[in-house]
Structure 1
Amino acid sequence: MISVALFNNKGGVGKTTLAYHLAHMLQRQGVRVLAVDLDPQSNLTAAILDEQELEALWGEDSELAAQESRPAQRMLFTRTDGQFTIAEAVRPILEGTGDIAHVTPVAVTEGLWLLPGNLELSKFEDKLSAAWLNSYAGDQAAIRTTTAFYRIIMQAAQAVEADLVLIDVGPNLGAINRAALLAADTVLMPLAADLFSLKGLLNLGPTLRDWRRTWQGLVRPQIPSTIPAPSASMKPLGYVIMQPEMRLDRPVRAYERWLARIPWVYGTAVLGHSSWPTEDRSYEIATMRNYRSLMPLAHDARKPMFDLKAADGALGSTQKYVQTCYQEFRVLAEEIMARLEAAQADLS
């Protein structure tokens, strides 16, 4: 089993959309996938589960249901009845009553599971922040806090015999994301070809190296064998360029200018080289075109864009666009698995 975190501390680049579609495409290629939502905004959870399932999971009636004059009509059974989120899993640590609670992943479909997120996970931020410094001194309570996500993920992955764990994290460099990324074997970075994404890489690369160095050098040697702990390899897997919707006020030349700078910024900031050839795109996994016209249809149909049918509104030329989408994500999934297999060999 190997894990990959999808991360860029610049938001709005299509990270969750990429995670959602990769999870579904890899599943149909025979990979047993556990998707983990460690973004407190819980966008991946909301993309995978429908409103009634979210109501059952989060324990509240939706705003839409509350506006009805009659009681909300519930399905007799949903995939999330009796299920818990990662926020519930860390609540004993947050409240000081114990260690992590076991969370059973939600079965999305055959070969695909979800560890659901919850907006309440944001309450764990301060606890993780304080635990980081206390971990330096070998404080076991702090170490259990910092390794909570890793241990929750490992328990869930073993329970479903996952081949791959996809971790979706929020766009920041806070304590929640630090704990999430420490749990990841590899890191995949969705990018847009613009100034903001490149600035994000300049911040992200040195921060990941600092977290890795601190964990491996100061904290991990003090962790007792009774506490499962990550190696915090966070090996850079590469980047996927999420192509924007071209507008008249954003010339193609501007897009190409930032595109040309990505290899150097990635090589120096993320990989840590003193220099990097601008023509070396060996870490560029793919460029994914903008499928914004398919997104509303996919959202309404509660399915990936590449599964849209005529009955979902994908008619005429739109159906050809769906087929193109399928081919692009198929090739992307195959390339990512090839890189993950190589990374797993390096890490073992």
Structure 2
Amino acid sequence: MISVALFNNKGGVGKTTLTYHLAHMLQRLGHRVLAVDLDPQSNLTAAFLDDEALEDVWQESNGASGAEEADQGAPTVAAAVKPIMEGMGDILPCRAVTIAEGLWLVAGDLTLSSFEDRLSEAWPKGFTGDPAALRTTTAFHRIIQAAAREVDADIVLIDVGPNLGAINRAALLAADTVLVPLAADLFSLRGLRNLGPTLRAWRRTWHYKVMPDLPSGIDAPAGLMHPLGYVIMQPTMRLDRPVRAYQRWLDRIPQVFASAVLDEPNAPPTGRPSEIATLRNYQSLMPLAHDARKPMFDLRSADGALGSTQTLVQRCFQDFQSLSEKLLKRLEGLPAHTS
């Protein structure tokens, strides 16, 4: 099993949409996929589940007793970490929701945001090998590992929020690899300059301050966070943002990614070795897909995808299939390991 966190500390780049469609396409290509929603906004969970199912999951998360959750599995990540938050014990197993054959979801919950302070407090205490602090810091890793084993997943996609806070630190430490969705604009470039050094600092701290004194018996992540590359999420071109301006930012991304994220400031200024794909804008398909509760590339005429829209649906399928195949090739090219 290998895990991929989709992360950009700049919001609004289409990260959750990318995660949702990658999960469906990877499953379509024959992989057993577990999608994990570690963004307290829970947009990935809302994409997978309709309002009725979502309400049921969140009501169960609020109302079930610890004994029931221990027996049946916690319905959300927030419910799984509730014993830690309340100082009553360790994580509960988290029940994965079946979306389709070969595709599962570990549901998120808005109440997960209250775990931020507990994670912040635990981080420095883990430097001394404090077992309770390390159980807190490794909670997401252990929840993901248990859920992935339960469904025998071979790929885990982790959706995280757009910030560099404690929740995302714990989520990214649990990830073997990191895929970065980007927009071709100044904000994404600025975000990359923050993202790269922060990931390296977290990795160094984990490897040199935490792992050497890690108590036996605590299942801790390797903290690899290997950068896979980036995906350009193409915006809608507007008269006030012409193609020339878009291209200017696009041309700067490879060097900034190499320097800031890969720590290769002397990388050749030509070529785009870290760019996995550029996804066109499918804005006209999004409302149809939302109403139909399915990926954009699965829309049919009965869903309102008529005429030229059906051509865009086919292109969308081809684009995500190509992206998924390229992503799989990069994953296969990594040094052999399992989480």
Residue in 2 that maps onto 1:150: 141
> Shift of residue 345 of structure 1?
2.6
How many Å separate the matches in 1 of 2:132 and 2:335? Answer: 30
Matching residue within 245, 253, 274 for 1:262: 253
2:291 maps to what in 1? Answer: 300
- Does 1:194 find its partner at 2:185? yes
How far apart are 1:346 and its partner, in Å? 7.1
Structure 2 partner of 1:34:
34
Shift of 1:347: 7.7
What does the per-residue CA deviation read over 1:203-261, in whole Å, with 9 as the maximum and x for residues that have no partner? 00000000000001110111123010001000000000000000000011110000000
Matched, 1:287 2:254: no
C-alpha separation in 2, matches of 1:347 and 1:248: 48
Q: Deviations over 1:31-57 (max 9, x none)?
A: 000000000000000000000001100
Corresponding residue for 1:4? 4
Give the residue type in structure 1 aligned to 2:219.
P
Question: Structure 2: any 5+ residue segments left out of the alignment?
Answer: 61-71
* Partner in structure 2 of residue 325 of structure 1: 316
C-alpha separation in 1, matches of 2:265 and 2:301: 52
Q: Are the aligned partners of 1:57 and 1:83 in contact in 2 as well (CA < 8 Å)?
A: no
Q: Which residue of 2 aligns with 1:45?
A: 45
* Aligned pairs (5 A) from 1:215-226: 215-226=206-217
Structure 2: how far apart are the matches of 1:298 and 1:85? 25
Distance (whole Å) between structure 1 residues aligned to residue 74 and residue 88 of structure 2: 21
Q: Which amino acid aligns with 1:139?
A: D
**Range with greater deviation from structure 2 (108-117 or 277-286):** 277-286
Q: Give the Å deviation of 1:175.
A: 0.1
Q: Is 1:127 the equivalent of 2:118?
A: yes
Shift of 1:119: 0.1
- Cα distance change of structure 1 residues 219 and 253 upon mapping to structure 2, 3 Å threshold: same
| Count of residue pairs the alignment pairs up | 328
Q: 1:11-90 residue pairs with structure 2 within 5 A? A: 11-59=11-59, 84-90=75-81
- Out of 207, 229, 232, which is 2:198 matched to? 207
TM-score, reference length from structure 2? 0.95
- Secondary structure, counterpart of 1:225 in structure 2: coil
2-structure distance, mates of 1:86, 1:55:
15
Q: Distance in 1 between matches of 2:337 and 2:105?
A: 27
Q: CA deviation at 1:82?
A: 8.2
Per-residue CA deviation, residues 52-99 of structure 1 (Å, 9 max, x unaligned), is: 001100118xxxxxxxxxxxxxxxxxxxx9861000000000000000
Q: Is the 8 A contact 1:138 1:219 kept in 2?
A: yes
1:34–1:157 Cα contact (<8 Å) kept:
yes
- What are the superposed Cα offsets for residues 115-153 of structure 1, whole Å, 9 maximum, x if unpaired? 000000000000000100111111110000000000000
Partners in 1 of 2:107 and 2:270 — Cα distance?
40
Q: Deviations over 1:142-174 (max 9, x none)?
A: 000000000000000000000000000000000
Q: 2:220 aligns with which of 212, 224, 229?
A: 229
Give the Cα separation in 2 of the matches to 1:195 and 1:140: 42
- Could you tell me the TM-score, scaled by structure 1's length? 0.92
Distance in 1 between residues matched to 2:74 and 2:95, nearest whole Å: 7
How many Å apart are 1:278 and its aligned residue? 2.5
Report how far residue 320 of structure 1 moved. 0.6
Q: Is the 8 A contact 1:83 1:106 kept in 2?
A: no
1:165-180 matches, cutoff 5 A: 165-180=156-171
Separation in 1 of the partners of 2:227 and 2:173?
13
The aligned counterpart of 2:64 is none
Specify the code of the residue in structure 1 equivalent to 2:210: V
Q: Which runs of 5+ in 1 are unaligned?
A: 61-80
Cα distance between partner residues in 1 of 2:73 and 2:10: 35
Amino acid at match of 1:330: Q
Cα distance in 2 for partners of 1:27, 1:329 equals 12
RMSD between aligned alpha carbons?
A: 1.4
Residue 243 of structure 1 corresponds to 234
Q: Deviations over 1:85-114 (max 9, x none)?
A: 000000000000000011110000000000
8 Å Cα contact 2:141-2:221 kept in structure 1: yes
Greater than 3 Å deviation, 4+ residue runs:
none
The alignment-based identity, stated in percent, is 69
Aligned amino acid, residue 89 of structure 1: A
